[in-house]
Structure 1
C-alpha cells in the first residue's frame, strides 16, 4: 500500500529523527502483540508498556508513517455523523 501526504509531528517536535528499528530476527514471547505501528498501535504499545504489560509492537515499515502521516485525525462514527456537537 502506498500512502502519501503529510509528515509526522515527531519530525518537528523532537531534535532527533524518528528511530529506525532492526528487522525482527529472534523468537520472542509476550503477553500482548500489537500489530501495526501507526499512531493507534504506537500509543497502545506505549500505554501497555507503561502499565507494566509485556508488549511487543510489530510494524512492517516505519513506526508512525504511512496513513498516520496522511490522515486528518478526525474521530467519527461514520463519514456523515461527527462525534461532536
Structure 2
C-alpha cells in the first residue's frame, strides 16, 4: 500500500512519467509539468528520492534502477487509459 500512497500524491506519477524519457533539470521538469508549483515539485522530488525512485545527477533528476523498474510496471496503464478514455467519449 505504501507505493500506492506515494504514487497517489499530487504529481508523483507525472514526475515519474516525465523522467522516464531521461534526466531533466528542476526547471525542465517544472516546464513539462505545466501547472505544478515549485513547492510541490520540490516536495515530490524529495518524496521520490527518499523512496529511491528518483536520484540527482550532473544532468538533473532521473529515475533510479528502481524507478525504471516501476515505470516499466506502470507503462501498460497508459495503453489501458487510452482505451478507457475512448470508451468514455
Shorter chain as denominator, the TM-score bin is under 0.3
Of the two structures, which has the highest relative contact order with CA contacts closer than 8 Å and spacing of 6 or more? 1
More helix per residue: 2
TM-score by length of 1: 0.26
TM-score by length of 2: 0.25
More strand per residue: 1
Larger radius of gyration: 1
